[in-house]
A and B are shown apart, each in its own frame.
Chain A
Amino acid sequence: MITAGLSENARTRTDPGFPVLTAQLAPALLVVLGLFGGGLFLGALQSLGYLPSVGMRVYSLKHFNNIIADPDFLKNLGLTFYISSISTGIAAVIGVLAAMAMTGYRTTRRVVNFVFQIPLTVPHLVIATAVIFMLSPSGLASRALQAIGLIDNPSQFPLMVNDSWGVGIIITYVWKEVPFITLMVLAVLNNQGTELLEAARTLHANRWQRFRFVVMPIIFPSLGAACLIVFAYTFGAFEVPYLLGQTYPMTMPVWAYRNFSDIDLMARPEGIATGLIIAVVVAVAIVLSQVLVQIARRRGVIL
């Protein structure tokens, strides 16, 4: 979050001017535009059917058409939206509750900060593998339940891995993203102080009213921005649904990978086209999140 570093002081400082700013950001811009822009450009070329080494040289939108006309498109897109929005929603609720519970307790903050940084640093791949070992029908949790006699055999254990509701995937994402949302919201709440809440209390606002009319307006823009970032990430991430998802239907990134790595090279442009569709959804989410950040700033809430 570049904006997170900006404070009121930074904004009142003299503007360095566009050329200076560009020069200062040049190294970062080169990497971002060169690697990602270049990759997107080459990807766009191939998705339009330009793959000279296998004799494909004609530009056309037919690969996008193939993807969108495929009956799997809506299924896979729906599944991806479902997984991303449910896991973002659950992570948001838990994150807000956790942040509210922690506001103001400065002494415990350091401990909590440390605990919350653990999920942030553990790679998705590791936690996905852990979920398989813990929650599959022959996993540790199931064995523990069998040992204490709550269930008789693995098939009675609820399906949470490779299941049709994506439970394992959602658990993994919630575990990973709660700390991120909590820390984003906590930063706003702590900045704001407790005066408004105390004022509301003196006006006899009940718990719900205090949340609805004081807390929510304060955190809304930054919570929204954080959620959109989490949504964008989970929408485009590959490894967790690949390991924990069903064989079919599959999420968009897994679908893109399947097509891209298909032994039939003619399927590659379709894989890349799927990837570009994912990129569009992710880009829209990021733009929306920036819009929310701007709203927050205009209201004087500092992210």
Chain B
Amino acid sequence: MTLSKIKRCIALLMVMIGLFCLTPLNPAAGNDWDDILQRAKGQTVDWYMWGGFPSTNAYVNGFVAPAVKERYGITLRQVPITDIAEVISKLLVEKQAGKDTGGQADLLWINGENFRTAKRNDLLFGPFADLLPNQRLVDWSRPSVFNDFGEPVESLESPWGSAQVVMIYDNVRTPNPPRSMRDLLDWVRNHPGRFAYPAPPDFTGSVFVRHVFYHVSGDVGAWQGPMDESRYTKTAAESFRILRELAPSLWRGGKTYPENPERLSQLFADGEVDFAISYHPAEASKKISDGLYPGSVRTFVFEEGTISNTHFVAIPFNAEHKEGAMVVADFLLSPEAQLQKADPAVWGDFPAIDVKRLDPQWQARFADLPRGIATLPDDVLQSHQLPEPPSQILIRLEKDWVNQVLKRR
């Protein structure tokens, strides 16, 4: 009882410190961060993150870990997992069991529905993001930063990067790929067995279904606010009708689906299907340079746009090394860490910071980044961005897809 009171006081204190930090002329702000840096020294930060993307793993273990070790004396250990939802489940059990300290995870790579679940069940430490000095580089007025899939972030997570869906094709096999969802659906009907999407609730499969939903709806912006039930039902029913009718033209006649984007990517590379879908604009270029895709592979976005979002890091309520985790989260936002991450030879992930807020010299470095052969230019990507719908729509679409498309009920 008393412990939780103390915790609440600390949390309150943190909020107040956060508010002070926002006041630019407050001389104490710097000292508090110095305190955090001091306490972070020597801590070991266990970062639970999806481990399915080799370039991300290489960036974290090859660049971030040595840098925070050298600069802040923090040992960063990546804990690769297949789905952050499993960690959220575990945190929930720990919360239930009253394990308020000594949790294994110090930092989580998270966004969307998992963030919503974690936030609603008080599984996150914070607010902390506003304490980080590099937060001034982030444009919090952007809807995809302020809201994470429609859920207000409220400094419970700190942005790390952003992503956008692109379609991957081979211009030798498919010289004229369909440029809109409408054309893609026609293409699939005319080329039976040559297209697949991962089965929702897989993240990439789920985003493909949302594109179909947006295509049916026509008006994307209408879904950002509170959900209109009758409108949702109508749009979803039409989307699932299209997908049900599309199923026989899919890979394996829609009798089975790839379980994740890696499997889809393997099918694409093996020539079983003609498209792959990626939520990472630079992934195709990276796969070419890794020799996994032929050099003739390219990407495109739909004329009507593709869905984009921001991904974040968060700290569990019972993290053992919260200070270390905060310092790592801050370092991730530093211009050099963001530049390194944006380099296609490293990962090619979009920056979470607003590059225009940097001084000209840093801006030039971002502008000079080499671009992978299959990666679309920034302005093409940015002018074709659609927001993610709120996560309750996403969850309903995933569940309804399973019932109406997979099980045909």
- A interface list, Cβ under 8 A from B: 51-54, 71-72, 137-138, 154-155, 159, 162-164, 242, 246-248, 260-265, 268
List, in ascending order, chain B residues with CB within 8 A of A54's CB: 92, 121
Tell me how far the C-beta of B6 lies from the nearest C-beta in chain A, rounded to whole angstroms.
Answer: 21
Q: Report the Cα distance A138→B117, complex, angstroms.
A: 39
Tell me how far the C-beta of A15 lies from the nearest C-beta in chain B, rounded to whole angstroms.
Answer: 43
Contact A247 B271 (CB under 8 A): no
Residue of A nearest to B91 (CB): A53
List, in ascending order, chain A residues with CB within 8 A of B85's CB: 261, 263
A53 touches which of B121, B407, B409 (Cβ 8 Å): B121
Contact A154 B272 (CB under 8 A): yes
Contact B113 A263 (CB under 8 A): yes
Contact A248 B95 (CB under 8 A): no
- What are 16 A-B pairs with beta-carbon distances under 8 A? A53-B121, A137-B272, A138-B271, A138-B272, A154-B272, A162-B252, A164-B256, A247-B256, A247-B259, A247-B406, A248-B406, A261-B83, A261-B85, A264-B399, A265-B89, A268-B89
Residue of B nearest to A52 (CB): B96
B114 within 8 A of A: yes
Q: Report the Cα distance A47→B26, complex, angstroms.
A: 53
List, in ascending order, chain A residues with CB within 8 A of B354's CB: none
Contact A247 B92 (CB under 8 A): no
Residue of B nearest to A257 (CB): B86
B92 touches which of A162, A164, A265 (Cβ 8 Å): A265
B89 touches which of A72, A248, A260 (Cβ 8 Å): A260
Tell me how far the C-beta of A246 lies from the nearest C-beta in chain B, rounded to whole angstroms.
Answer: 4
Contact A138 B267 (CB under 8 A): yes
B201 within 8 A of A: yes
Residue of B nearest to A263 (CB): B113
Q: Which 3 A-B pairs rank lowest in CB-CB distance, beginning with the nearest? A: A138-B270, A53-B96, A246-B256
Tell me how far the C-beta of B97 lies from the nearest C-beta in chain A, rounded to whole angstroms.
Answer: 9
Among residues 85 to 105 in chain B, which have CB atoms less than 8 Å away from a CB atom of chain A?
85-86, 89, 92-93, 95-96
Contact A164 B89 (CB under 8 A): no
List, in ascending order, chain A residues with CB within 8 A of B395's CB: 263-264
Interface of B is mostly: helix
Q: Report the Cα distance A100→B327, complex, angstroms.
A: 67
Given A52-B96, A53-B92, A138-B271, 5 other A-B contacts at CB below 8 A?
A53-B95, A71-B409, A154-B271, A162-B252, A262-B201
Residue of B nearest to A142 (CB): B270
Contact A263 B114 (CB under 8 A): yes
Known contacts A246-B255, A263-B114: A51-B270 contact under CB 8 Å: no
Q: Report the Cα distance A154→B273, complex, angstroms.
A: 11
User: Per-residue 0/1 for B397-409: is the Cβ within 8 Å of any A Cβ (1 yes, 0 no)?
Assistant: 0110010001101
List, in ascending order, chain A residues with CB within 8 A of B259's CB: 242, 247
Tell me how far the C-beta of A275 lies from the nearest C-beta in chain B, rounded to whole angstroms.
Answer: 14
List, in ascending order, chain A residues with CB within 8 A of B201's CB: 262-263
Contact B113 A51 (CB under 8 A): no
User: Per-residue 0/1 for B239-273: is the Cβ within 8 Å of any A Cβ (1 yes, 0 no)?
Assistant: 00000000000001001110100000011001110
Contact B96 A51 (CB under 8 A): yes
B199 touches which of A51, A138, A155, A247 (Cβ 8 Å): A247
Contact B407 A261 (CB under 8 A): no
Contact B256 A162 (CB under 8 A): yes
Residue of B nearest to A159 (CB): B252
Q: Report the Cα distance A260→B113, complex, angstroms.
A: 16
Q: Report the Cα distance A247→B256, complex, angstroms.
A: 5
Residue of A nearest to B123 (CB): A53
B295 within 8 A of A: no
Known contacts A54-B92, A246-B255: A263-B117 contact under CB 8 Å: yes
Residue of B nearest to A54 (CB): B121
Residue of B nearest to A264 (CB): B395
Contact B255 A164 (CB under 8 A): yes
Known contacts A137-B272, A138-B270: A72-B96 contact under CB 8 Å: no
Tell me how far the C-beta of B304 lies from the nearest C-beta in chain A, rounded to whole angstroms.
Answer: 27
B193 within 8 A of A: yes
Q: Report the Cα distance A262→B201, complex, angstroms.
A: 9
Tell me how far the C-beta of A63 lies from the nearest C-beta in chain B, rounded to whole angstroms.
Answer: 16
List, in ascending order, chain A residues with CB within 8 A of B96's CB: 51-53
Residue of B nearest to A138 (CB): B270
List, in ascending order, chain B residues with CB within 8 A of A52's CB: 96
Q: Report the Cα distance A50→B64, complex, angstroms.
A: 42
Q: Report the Cα distance A246→B86, complex, angstroms.
A: 22
Q: Report the Cα distance A261→B85, complex, angstroms.
A: 7
Among residues 119 to 140 in chain B, which have CB atoms less than 8 Å away from a CB atom of chain A?
121
Tell me how far the C-beta of A161 lies from the nearest C-beta in chain B, rounded to whole angstroms.
Answer: 9
List, in ascending order, chain A residues with CB within 8 A of B398's CB: 263
List, in ascending order, chain A residues with CB within 8 A of B272's CB: 137-138, 154
Residue of A nearest to B254 (CB): A247
List, in ascending order, chain B residues with CB within 8 A of A72's CB: 407
List, in ascending order, chain A residues with CB within 8 A of B114's CB: 263
